[in-house]
Structure 1
Amino acid sequence: MSLHQMTHSFRTQLLKITSRLIYIKAVVKRKNSLSGVRYSEEPAIFAWELMNEPRCSSSSSAPALQAWIAEMAAYIKSLDKRHLVTVGLEGFYGLNTTNKSEVNPGIWAASLGSDFIPNSAISNIDFASVHAYPDSWIPHAGLEEKTSYLSHWVDSHISDGDIALRKPVLFKEVGSSRHVDEKGVFDRDVLLKTVYDKIYESAKKRRAGAFIWQLLVEGVDGYTDKTTIM
């Protein structure tokens, strides 16, 4: 590579980084036009999420994602010391996390560049984030297999939060399709109960919490998907 090409490449990367930081600052420091309160001081904001479900094209990009999380979390903290910061992970374990491959929903999950424990362990990440979509991740499994997988998935991440990370874990998205099995049981009821029973026990110790994906009211049907609760 010539010096000119190296200079051009460096300038391009610098421009991308600068643009990204300008965008973040514009959001975090934005002043609410109605209340006059900046988002960085807004008590109604719970936390900043860096990215929804970050994935890479291959596991070789894992170091780049790890560095990006560290950089972005630190920058947000420099702008806003009031609010929590999380990543937005699905919770997949990467190739470098030993003894966890069996927790993933499939071999494919370790090839996406994200890795729950090292990504969440970054000092400026305040709590770990996890998603759970057994219908999408193991679509051909029966209800019993999905329930067993989901139970193990939740237990593993709560344990990692307690022991490896020493941080709370929030299951930010938990979703399942609503359909009836041959016994007349709603699969979604069974799967959601599996998650919430475990979360309830952990929440007593202030270790974990959970949301659903997603609850909609009448009139916003255009935003629905197969896991929506109406």
Structure 2
Amino acid sequence: MAGNGLLYPLLGFTSCLAFMYMFLGDLSFTSYKQPKMSFVDTNGAQFMVDGKAFYVNGWNSYWLMYLATDYNTAPRVREVLQLGAKMGLTVCRTWAFNDGAYNALQISPGQFDERVFRALDHVIAEARLHGIRLILSLVNNLHNFGGKTQYVKWAWEEGVALSASNDSFFFDPSIRSYFKNYVKAILTRKNSATGIEYRDDPTIFAWELMNEPRCFSDPSGDTLQDWIEEMAGFVKKIDKKHLLTVGLEGFYGRTSPGKLNLNPAEWAGAFGTDFIRNSKIPTIDFASVHVYPDHWFDDLDLEDQIKFASKWVKSHIEDGDNELKKPILFTEFGLSANQKNFQPLHREKFYKTIYDLIYKSAKKKGSGAGAFVWQFIVGGMEEYEDGNGIVPWERASTYSIITEQSCRLARIQGGQDQLQGSLKDLCSKMVN
């Protein structure tokens, strides 16, 4: 017992030192040492940085903030960001939320865990250090990490909820107020590592209102449309510097009857989402689309899944070119290893299909502005493997396909002579 009495304070002191180093002691995060970075803007259907077109080869690592809360797992944040930079990737999409769950950022409406907020600070500072921009998603449609379910639960427990339905997240005034307070807290947060408010930090590529919003209770789409308009306007009043997207999967709705047959199936038109209508809102700067043909069509063989994916991507790029006049980002695409008879080369063929369509659009200065692999993980993260996770360096051919796309897009942006640093070295080894 006496030994334990000495051990616990020692462990606590060691933990404290580790967190102090992570969030306070790393001088590379001081504002004067942050690499120069400009805000991303749009010009019609193209992203622009410093007056030049900007195309994205990106990836998803939704777990960055979550792992940054623990000094045992925080090194994986740096590891994956270093990896992305080495591969010539430029933007990572990740969660800026964890509502009411383990290691919650928002413990209850408007109440935050400063330790977790400092972890998000760390993620943003670390990304800047490696020249990586971030798309930060603000809430989940799914129950993972709290999501809209948690907001409804809070309102119900406080006795102010209009309904126990998860979709009341979109129409209940009290819940809308909860979410607005959360958004304001995030956007105006002063980063403890860099001293920069989030709304003033160009490391943030864009805000995403919600990951994969769906409103089953109103398939007309009116409820979700009203929520998007209100929340997009609210974000833009606070932050006029950053781009904003909805977080859509890309399903067509009732205002696009001629496109309903392009959805994966009839069910996709009943979610209350409406890709063109939702994305046309003036305060939404670019549209997002997800691509999961194996998840949507588990009865199709690989060739037919890829054919659908190709048609799906082309259709949305045409929407960006001809109707929306905005950039289109395919913010999630993946092919699961959990499929029957899966082989890694199947995934590589799928990746190559998506990348080639983006490259073709980019060469024509079209709206196809980039794509994000779902998802990158690093060693020791088996519990985060959902069938789509990859450790890129473990398979040379996969690594090559992804890095080749970085080089192709970089050449469009500035030509081989304009490539800098590690990207120049990487791309000099590759042919056009």
Shared fold (TM-score, shorter chain, > 0.5): yes
Q: Which has the larger radius of gyration?
A: 2
- Could you tell me how far apart the structure 2 residues matched to 1:148 and 1:31 are? 46
Of 125, 130, 153 in structure 1, the residue corresponding to residue 289 of structure 2 is 130
1:140-165 Cα deviation digits (max 9, x unpaired) = 11112111101100000000001110
TM-superposition CA deviations, 1:210-230 (whole Å, max 9, x none) = 111001111223222111112
Change (3 A) 1:183 1:107: closer
Residue 275 of structure 2 corresponds to residue 116 of structure 1: yes
Letter of the structure 2 residue corresponding to residue 123 of structure 1:
P
Residues 5-63 of structure 1, C-alpha deviation per residue, up to 9 Å, x if partnerless?
A: xxx96xx9443332221111001111111111110011110000000000112443510
1:35 counterpart letter in structure 2: T
8 Å contact 1:176–1:191 — kept in the other structure? yes
The equivalent residue for 1:47 is 206
Say if 2:381 is the partner of 1:228.
no
Unaligned stretches of 5+ in structure 2? 1-160, 163-170, 392-432
SS in 2 for 1:218: coil
Q: 1:184 to 1:175 in 2, by over 3 A?
A: closer
**Shift in CA distance, 202/15, structure 1 to aligned 2, threshold 3 Å:** same
Alignment of 1:33-182 (within 5 A): 33-60=192-219, 62-178=221-337
Cα 1:142–1:79 change in 2 (3 A) is: same
SS at 2:199 equivalent: helix
Counterparts of 2:344 and 2:383 in 1: how far apart (Å)? 28
Higher strand share: 2
Residues of 2 paired with 1:181 and 1:79: CA distance?
48
Check conservation: 2:255, 2:277, Cα contact below 8 A: no
- 3-state DSSP class of the match of 1:131? strand
CA gap of 1:17–1:28, structure 2 versus 1, over 3 A, is same
Cross-structure match for 1:207: 367
AA matched with 2:367:
R
Note if contact 1:130-1:170 (Cα within 8 Å) is conserved in structure 2: yes
CA deviations over 1:47-100 (Å, ceiling 9, x no partner)? 000000001124435101001101111110110011000000000001231211
For residue 351 of structure 2, give the secondary structure of its aligned residue in structure 1.
helix
- TM-score normalised per structure 2: 0.49
Task: State whether residues 246 and 279 of structure 2, in contact with CA within 8 Å, keep that contact through their aligned partners in structure 1.
Answer: yes
What value does the CA root-mean-square deviation take over the aligned residues? 2.2
For residues 183 and 222 of structure 1, the distance between their equivalents in structure 2, rounded to whole angstroms, comes to 20
Within 1, Cα distance between the matches of 2:191 and 2:381? 25
Q: Which moved more, 1:50-59 or 1:75-84?
A: 50-59
**Contact 1:180 1:186 survives alignment (8 Å):** no
Q: TM-score, normalised by structure 1?
A: 0.89
Q: State how far apart, in whole Å, the 2-side matches of 1:201 and 1:160 are.
A: 15
Offset of 1:184 from its aligned partner? 7.0
SS at match of 1:100: helix
Secondary structure at the aligned position of 1:186 is classed as: helix
Q: Identify which of structures 1 and 2 has the higher relative contact order when contacts are C-alpha pairs closer than 8 Å and 6+ apart.
A: 2
Task: State the partner residue of 2:182.
Answer: 23
Decide whether aligned partners of structure 1 residues 216 and 33 sit closer, same or farther in structure 2, where only a CA change above 3 A counts: same
Q: How much does 1:185 deviate?
A: 7.5
Partner Cα separation in structure 2 for residue 184 and residue 47 of structure 1: 34
Secondary structure of the structure 1 residue equivalent to 2:374: coil
1:226 maps to amino acid: G
Distance 1:16 1:149, change over 3 A: same
Q: 2: CA distance between counterparts of 1:201 and 1:50?
A: 29
Give secondary structure in 2 for the equivalent of 1:212: strand
